[in-house]
Structure 1
């Protein structure tokens, strides 16, 4: 009986958490269209989530492409197909690695900061102060972060893709001696518009998932120093796992 009771209680708690999470997301997105629009706050968050993430995205993309190019070249060389290096690198990055790794980088760099910021606002009772001034804290604090992440993630993914393909080109053409024209022609021949749009669609979903998880966990964090610390760690873990799970689901649907 105790086991059944425990399972039932946990199931009810899980359903309740899912319901509260969906309501939180719906409220956060819907109130963004109500005046005042808070465009300046959205712009500030785009600068924080997007612009400040560009260096780490470019660096990660470049070395990911270089490592991928090195591995693919030596494996294709066993079958005499090293000329396909460009297409394999480009498709791997555009379809999978670009959206996923960009989202993981943003979750680690910006997501943790978002959770900590919201948690600290709860500790210092800034959320309550906003409510006392008749300002919706969700609209003022949460909504700009969600919309900024939706806008920033596809752009960051494009930067990652370009840097990754460049990294594969540098290793393949400049270092390993692959014909540059063959690399370019195979890349242009194999990459279709549907591949690019599929990767960008993934990035939008990942951006929403990361911002949603980090904002929700920060908003519901225990208003203590220890509570915010745990919430920050949990936000990075949850958002990263969500990205990987969603990647499998979306890949299954898009193939």
Structure 2
């Protein structure tokens, strides 16, 4: 038990040291702009179909499952607002981040892990290329920027999915539905939910890069790096979400 705790604390310390190195290297030239844009394309554009499908299903299922309960209290008119609040404040950011942890973080971990195993990172150092700037800084920045964008898009798609779910048993026009959605939302609902997604993106990129960049030798380490990236990133997302909810509650309830 004590040995397991020591291993966990040791890995946490290594991750924080890795993040510190990121903030140190990000200020050093050259900035690999082309690789950064390429990673934005892979992380953002390539992930959008999966995020959109997941968001649409989330919104539709939430509306379908909630409607009977609200109908029993004669509060079916509250359904659009309740669905929008639930999705935008909590469900959409967390589920989207978890989807990206499974797709993006594992992909980064496997990619960098395979490069480490095949000595490509060592070859970059011999060629006078800074592999940390090229491989790590670009991916963490791209993840930090693109995950919030994906969450905002997922919010829109999931709310529309809620509209479709509402209209399975009712007849609500699009204008009336979104009018009720906008009436139910406020500054306190939108801004904290978006701010925490930047931390989600940073953790997803950082954990994936850490696991891949520090993979041990051998082909088995590539799979371990990808698996560890998903597990650690997912757990970190829940921890960050818990802290974000507590902080937002302290700030906006005063």
Q: Give the equivalent residue in structure 2 for 1:175.
A: 168
- For residue 40 of structure 1, the aligned residue among 31, 34, 38 is 34
Distance in 2, Cα, partners of 1:218 & 1:187: 42
Q: Give the equivalent residue in structure 2 for 1:239.
A: 233
Deviation at 1:170, TM superposition (A): 1.3
Deviations along 1:160-199, one digit per CA (max 9) or x if unpaired, are: 0001000111121x32215435533321111112321111
- For residue 88 of structure 2, the aligned residue among 67, 77, 94 is 94
Deviation at 1:14, TM superposition (A): 4.1
- For residue 53 of structure 1, the aligned residue among 27, 30, 47 is 47
Distance in 2, Cα, partners of 1:184 & 1:204: 26
- For residue 245 of structure 2, the aligned residue among 244, 251, 255 is 251
- For residue 130 of structure 1, the aligned residue among 124, 131, 135 is 124
Are residues 12 and 63 of structure 1, via their aligned partners in 2, closer, same or farther at CA, if it must alter by over 3 Å? closer
Question: What does residue range 49-128 of structure 1 map to in structure 2 within 5 Å?
Answer: 49-128=43-122
Deviation at 1:53, TM superposition (A): 0.5
Distance in 2, Cα, partners of 1:108 & 1:11: 25
Are residues 17 and 230 of structure 1, via their aligned partners in 2, closer, same or farther at CA, if it must alter by over 3 Å? closer
Do the aligned partners of 1:85 and 1:183 also contact (CA within 8 Å) in 2? no
Deviations along 1:78-135, one digit per CA (max 9) or x if unpaired, are: 1110100111111111111111111111111122111011001111111111222232
Do the aligned partners of 1:84 and 1:183 also contact (CA within 8 Å) in 2? no
Matched, 1:21 2:15: yes
Distance in 2, Cα, partners of 1:23 & 1:137: 17
Give the 3-state SS of the residue equivalent to 2:179 in structure 1: helix
Q: Gaps spanning 5+ residues in structure 1: where?
A: 1-5
Q: Structure 1 length normalisation: TM-score? A: 0.91
Distance in 2, Cα, partners of 1:120 & 1:106: 20
Do the aligned partners of 2:117 and 2:215 also contact (CA within 8 Å) in 1? no
Distance in 2, Cα, partners of 1:210 & 1:49: 11
Q: Gaps spanning 5+ residues in structure 2: where?
A: 250-254
